[in-house]
Amino acid sequence: MLMQKKIVEMFDSIAPKYDIANRILSLGIDIKWRKEAIEETVKDIDKNNIRILDVACGTGDMIGIWQKTIKNKTLKICGLDPSKGMLEVAKKRFPQITFYNAYATEIPCEDSSFDVISISFGIRNVLEIEKALNEFNRILDKNGRLLILEFVRDNKNKKLRKCIDFYTNKFLPKIGGIITKNKEAYEYLPKSIENFYTVEELSNLLKKAGFEIKKVKLFNFSQVAMIIAQKI
Ligand SMILES: C[S@@+](CC[C@H](N)C(=O)[O-])C[C@H]1O[C@@H](n2cnc3c(N)ncnc32)[C@H](O)[C@@H]1O
């Protein structure tokens, strides 16, 4: 658990500058993926009052996109993150929302209490991933959906990704380090992608945890995966 604690401390330390660094470094291209992923996740959910938990919510980027994207259905959205620093920013942005200061592996919510769980650019930071997926399955209601957006390892498109990898490995730590004064945190990103799963491996873990894969789509030269899974 020590390593996990260190990861969260790193997010605590960059929290005040996280939003500005993210805006500059992503150039906003993630917004399109997030919207598409949300629309795809809820498109055939035939119910109003969808209960959503955004896990690893950070400063609340995904919560903002949920609110803007879903207009014809009522949403009850909550956020969860173990980093107090990230949550402090999120609470200022969304004072009306309930936030849980907790790990994805120990969610303080009842069984079957949500229709959708979203986790964007968060699951890679969860060291006990199988435990977290079981926990997601527990708190999702029957046929509940899990939306994962994440950087994944890719063994196929090596040549195509050279340019993107240059950006992630060299440019991003430099600029991220200057903005947040924590270069280490931005060196962690490429390292954590290298040590993470491929989209196939992640899908297999989901199946093992009691999910059926509904849709997979890759963005950004296969660097980012959207996986929508349903609780069986
Ligand atoms: C890159 S940020 C992503 C924030 C947000 N979801 C977004 O899309 O911008 C990763 C977040 O994962 C959180 N995190 C790290 N370890 C976690 C864990 N074990 N369980 C839940 N969240 C975790 C961090 O505190 C951080 O806020």
In the prediction, which pLDDT does 130 show? 98
- Has residue 49 been placed in a domain? yes
Cα 229 to chain centroid, rounded: 14
Asked whether residue 63 is domain-assigned, the answer is yes
CA of 189 to the centre of ligand 1 (A): 12
pLDDT at 48: 84
In a domain, 168, yes or no: no
Domain annotation covers residue 17: yes
Residue 169 belongs to some domain of the structure: no
Instruction: With respect to residue 219, please indicate whether it lies within any of the assigned structural domains.
Output: yes
Residues ≥6 apart with Cβ < 8 Å to 121: 30, 56, 58, 149, 150, 151
CA of 225 to the centre of ligand 1 (A): 16
Residues 135-155 pLDDT 10s: 999 999 999 999 999 999 887
Q: Whose CA is nearest to atom 9 of ligand 1?
A: 61
How far is 11 from 81, CA to CA, in rounded Å? 10
How many distinct structural domains can be found in the chain?
1
Structural domain boundaries enclosing 90:
2-153+197-231
- Reduce the DSSP state of residue 115 to 3 states and report it: strand
- Residue 188 located in a structural domain: no
Query: Could you read off the pLDDT tens digit of each residue along the chain, which spans 232 residues?
Result: 459 999 999 999 999 998 888 888 888 899 999 999 999 999 989 888 899 999 999 999 999 999 999 987 778 999 999 999 999 999 999 999 999 999 999 999 999 999 999 999 999 999 999 999 999 999 999 999 999 999 998 877 666 667 777 777 777 788 888 888 888 888 888 888 888 999 999 999 999 999 999 999 999 888 899 999 999 9
Structure-token match 């280490």, residue found: 184
41 lies in a domain? yes
CA-to-CA separations, 145 to 32, 62, 150, 191, 208, in angstroms, rounded: 20, 16, 16, 29, 16
Please indicate whether residue 82, judged by its CB atom, sits closer than 6 Å to ligand 1: yes
Residue nearest to atom 14 of ligand 1 (CA): 56
The alpha carbon of 123 and the centre of ligand 1 are apart by a number of angstroms equal to 7
Read off the CATH number of the domain in which 221 is found. 3.40.50.150
Percent of the residues in the chain that have a pLDDT greater than 90, as a whole number: 69
pLDDT at 1: 47
| 112 Cβ neighbours under 8 A, 6+ residues apart | 138, 139, 140, 141, 142, 144
pLDDT given at position 2: 55
